Amino acid sequence: MYLVPQLKKLGLSEKEAIVYIALSRLGLVSVIDVQRETKIKRPTIYQILSSLEGRGLVSKIIRNNKNFFISEDIKIIQKKLDNQKEILNSILPEMKSLTSFSFSKNYIKHYDGEENIKMLLSEILDYKQKPAYFWCNYKLLSSLGDLFFSDFIKARVKNKIWIKEITNKNYDSLIYHKSNQEDLRQQCFYEKDFNMDVYLYGSKNILLIDTFANRAIKNENKDLYGFFKYNFDIVWEFLS
């Protein structure tokens, strides 16, 4: 179900998302109704309803000495996120001052897992109207999914981020090649296959992703960025 992973991103567990969707669909119902709809064990449903009620996403109504439950508007989550954003903005300047030592910017940071890789790729979108340089093979499509890449491209185009991309010829790269102009993308094709993606962006950021193991390292260093960019330009010119 498409909505479940989206609600998980908003902080719900998988079963909480399933129960919340069921309540939204059914309206005012009993625990037995929820169990029949979701196939989740009744003791677990009680725990989930208690959790959702605590978050303000579910209300309990007593009728004829029986408990019934109904979902609240999803906008409650949006309101909570807005409140969290206000709190984050209020503490951000002080938090930045705590991590502003110049030497910390040169640390190589390691990341594991699909969600971290999605987060790292999404950081590219923060550098609006600045070109980026990708050396990639589209293998991440299989692990991160078409939906993520479709949304990523739309956001990149909206932010007017042109990219130069070196990739090998495969089914996915040729499909995307057809929309190069509208996707603000230039491509050159490299004959050999590779399992390491390289992303250069924001004039100092280097992101390396092991597409086989879903691991990544990131560094912010203008000198190292310049080294990678110099080699990228040489290969680009050779392939063009």
Q: What is the pLDDT of residue 97?
A: 67
Q: How confident is the model at residue 178 (pLDDT cuts 50, 70, 90)?
A: confident
The winner for highest mean pLDDT among 33-37, 177-181, 210-214 is: 33-37
- DSSP helix/strand/coil, 186: strand
- List the Cα angle 167/239/175 in 5-degree steps: 35
**Residue 195, class by beta-carbon neighbours within 10 Å (0-12 exposed, 13-18 middle, 19+ buried)?**
exposed
Identify the CA nearest to 72 among candidates 20, 15, 1: 20
- List the Cα angle 29/31/37 in 5-degree steps: 75
Report the mean per-residue pLDDT for the chain: 86
Q: What is the mean pLDDT of residues 227-240?
A: 92
Task: Kindly list the distances between the CA atom of residue 227 and the CA atoms of 102, 136, 218, 220, in Å, as whole numbers in the listed order.
Answer: 20, 18, 15, 13
Phi, psi of 219 (to 5 degrees): -140, 145
Long-range pairs for 31-37: beta carbons < 8 A, 24 or more residues apart? 31/67, 31/69, 34/69
Q: How confident is the model at residue 38 (pLDDT cuts 50, 70, 90)?
A: very high
Q: Which residues contact 200 (CB under 8 A, 6 or more apart)?
A: 132, 133, 134, 206, 207, 225, 228, 229, 232
Residue 104 has pLDDT above 50, yes or no: no
| Cα gap 6→3, rounded to integer Å | 5
The predicted-structure confidence for 209-232, as pLDDT tens digits, reads as follows: 998 888 899 998 889 999 999 999
Q: Which residues contact 169 (CB under 8 A, 6 or more apart)?
A: 189, 191
- The model carries a pTM of 0.58
The predicted-structure confidence for 152-166, as pLDDT tens digits, reads as follows: 999 999 999 999 999
Q: What is the mean pLDDT of residues 56-79?
A: 85
Q: What is the mean pLDDT of residues 27-51?
A: 93
| Domains detected in the chain | 3-75 (1.10.10.10), 107-239 (3.30.870.10)
Residue 193 has pLDDT above 60, yes or no: yes
